[in-house]
Amino acid sequence: MTRKQWLWTAAAVAVLGAGFAWAFRPQPVRVEVAEVRQGLFAQTVEEDGKTRVRERYVVSAPLAGQLARVALKPGDEVRAGTVVALLAPAAPAMIDARTARELSERIGAAQAALAAARANVARSEAALAQAKADLARQIKLEKEGFIAAAAREQADLAVQVQTKALEAARFAQEGARHDLAQARAALLRAQEAAARPRPGTTWPIESPVAGRVLRVLQESEATVAVGTPILEVADPRDLEVVADVLSTDGARIRPGANVLIEAGRELRFAGWVRRVEPAAFTKVSALGVEEQRVNVIIDITSPPQRWASLGDQFRVDVKITVFERADAVIAPVAALFRAGPEWAVFVVRDGRAVQRTVKVGARTPIEAWIEEGLAPGDRVVVYPSDSVADGKRVAIVRGAR
C-alpha cells in the first residue's frame, strides 16, 4: 500500500470515528422552562356560592280560613300595604246523618234538662215562700210568749237555706239554657256545612314591604291554617353572596377580605367578606365524605349595573383572598420539588440545569411566592423528570429562552 493510500485510509478512519463519537455523544435533556417574575401574589380560597336577598319576608295567613286564588306571579312588583291575597271564613266541616241525628237528640236532652231545671226553680220558690210564712208565724208566736226564741231561730235558718237552694236552682236553670243554645248552634253549623260564606266577608292580606314577589308558595284556592306561608316578598336588588367553605379555610378568612365573584366567563364583579359565621356544620361531599363547613357572607361592592341580571339563589364562583403581597417573586408550582426537607428548583444557566434551594413563603395550586433563592428573570425547569440533574445539559423545547 502506497503512502497516499495510507493517508486516505487514516483520514477515512478519523472521519468514521468522529461520526461515531458525534452520534453517541451524551444528548442534552429536553425541558420546558418558565420565567420567574415579580408582581402581585394572591392566595385565595375558591368555592361555589349562591346569591340570596338580604331581607326576605314570608307573607303568611294570619287566620285560618279559605284562601282565594293568588293572582300575583313571581317577579311582580308590590308596594308596602298592597293586598296580595284574600282570606274568607272557612265553611264548617261536613257531618254524616248519624252525627246530625245525635245533634238533634242532644237538643232534646238539653230541652228536657232545661224543663227539669225550671221545675226545680219553681219548687225552690214554693219552699222558700213556705219557709217565710212559717218564719212570720214563729215571730208572732214568740212576741205573744207562746214559743221559745230557739223555735224562731230555727224558722229563720230554714228561710236562709231555702234562699240558697233557690239560687242554686236558678244557676242550674241558666246552665241548662246555655247547653240548649250550644246544642242548637252545633246543629245549625251542621245544617249550613254546604253553604258558602257571605259575600264581602273577606280578610285582606297585605305586603309588609315594597319589593317584588320571589315565590308564590300557595297559588291555588285552599283552606289554610294559621301561619300557612303564601308568598315571599323581597328587594331583588339587595343581594348578598353566601359560600360554604371548609372550616380549615374559614379559619384563615377575615372580615374585609377581597372577593372575586364570577357568574360565568363574562360576568365578573367584586365583593368583600362581611362575616364568617361562628358555627360550622357537617356536610356530605359528592364522594360521600363528611366535611365540616362554615358559611361566609359576602357583600357585593361592584355597581349594581354589573350584576343586574342576577337574582335570588343564583349559583356563582367565589375567590376569597386570604393573603396578598405586592412585590413578590413568583415561580410556577410545577417547578418545585423536594430535596430532603427543603424545596428546590432547577435553574437553567449556560445550557445546563443548576439545582438551587429555595424558601417558599406561600403558594397556590398554580404559583408560589419565593422568599429566597430566585430572582426575577431566572428561568426554571417546570415538571422536571428524573433525567434532569444538577449540571446536566438541557435543551429548551418550550418557554422562555
Q: How far apart are CA 213 and CA 71, in angstroms?
A: 11
Give the closest residue to 262 by CA, choosing from 296, 310, 322, 214: 310
pLDDT tens digit at each of 401 positions of the chain: 566 666 666 666 665 655 554 545 567 888 899 999 999 999 999 999 999 999 999 999 988 888 999 999 998 999 998 999 999 887 666 666 677 777 777 888 888 888 888 888 888 888 888 888 877 887 777 777 777 777 777 877 887 888 888 888 888 888 888 777 887 777 776 666 545 545 557 889 999 889 999 999 999 999 899 999 999 999 888 999 999 999 999 999 999 999 999 998 889 999 999 999 999 999 998 889 999 999 999 999 999 899 988 989 999 999 999 999 999 999 999 999 999 899 999 999 988 999 999 999 998 889 999 999 999 999 999 999 888 888 888 888 875 54
What's the confidence (pLDDT) of residue 90? Answer: 76
Q: How far apart are CA 261 and CA 269, in angstroms?
A: 5
pLDDT tens for 140-186 read 777 777 777 777 778 778 878 888 888 888 888 888 887 778 877 77
Q: What is the pTM of this model?
A: 0.62
Superfamily of structural domain 41-52+237-398: Efflux pump adaptor protein, beta barrel domain (2.40.30.170)
CATH of domain 56-86+198-234: 2.40.50.100
The answer for residues whose C-beta is within 8 angstroms of residue 233's C-beta and 6 or more apart is 56, 57, 59, 78, 84, 207, 208, 209, 211, 212, 213, 214
Give the closest residue to 315 by CA, choosing from 241, 257, 249, 244: 241
Q: Are strands 315-332 and 37-53 parallel, antiparallel or unpaired?
A: antiparallel
Q: Are strands 229-234 and 56-60 parallel, antiparallel or unpaired?
A: antiparallel
- Is the CB of residue 283 less than 8 Å from the CB of residue 243? no
What's the confidence (pLDDT) of residue 23? Answer: 47
Q: How far apart are CA 320 and CA 251, in angstroms?
A: 12
Per domain, the residue ranges of the chain are 41-52+237-398, 56-86+198-234, 97-191
What's the confidence (pLDDT) of residue 194? Answer: 45
Asked whether this chain's domains 41-52+237-398 and 56-86+198-234 adopt the same fold, the reply is no
